[in-house]
A = this chain, B = another copy of it.
């Protein structure tokens, strides 16, 4: 029971943050990312522009969502080192996709709706797409570290980088397709299919049959 309930200030802070982000995504979706200024977002949310920057360092961060990097890294670190690289990383990504979307029915819920709105913006807006790709790149570094290969072997490190980046790319393709389908296709399935298209069916066989 180390879970202490959040104080009033924390709740307020979190609430304004959520409010600002919700208004931002709505305005961006309605009028386009470039056509909406940070001042517009602030006014819609009923706060000052400075407050927006206090919660989100840049305008782009209003849309970018934190990927469960910690979760994925732990999953990778826990996987058996005897398996091929793409299977270790790919398996973790499939599990992360399952955790992210709940993996239940075919109708996305409210939380998923917001995620889809953000992803749509990320795919269609160049500035956001670039930042999103770079955050995936950061996640890639975390995964490579979690793979825990022999740090003294530069060739092994290179192979780990290459395999991981390829897996991340497949994941990104699945995410893009997921937004195009408006979340109606199950994300873990899309990730699995993307990995299979890249690395062959046998590379993800255990996940398809299990």
Contact = CB atoms under 8 A, between A and B. Distances in A.
Interface in A161-199: 161-163, 165-170, 172-174, 176-177, 193-195, 197-199
A197 B174 CA distance: 21
A85, A159, A162, most chain B CB atoms within 10 A: A162
A172 B177 contact: no
A20 B159 CA distance: 38
A131 B170 CA distance: 20
A130 interface: yes
Chain A interface residue count: which class? Answer: 20 to 34
Nearest to A135: B130
Contacts of A200: 199-200
A166 B177 contact: no
A73 B168 CA distance: 23
Interface of A: 85-86, 126, 129-131, 133-134, 137, 158-163, 165-170, 172-174, 176-177, 193-195, 197-200
25 contacts: A85-B197, A129-B137, A130-B130, A130-B133, A133-B133, A133-B137, A158-B193, A158-B194, A159-B193, A161-B176, A162-B169, A162-B195, A162-B197, A162-B198, A165-B173, A165-B198, A166-B167, A166-B169, A166-B199, A168-B169, A198-B198, A198-B199, A199-B199, A199-B200, A200-B200
Contact of A126 (B134, B159, B167, B172): B134
B198 A86 contact: yes
A170 B199 CA distance: 13
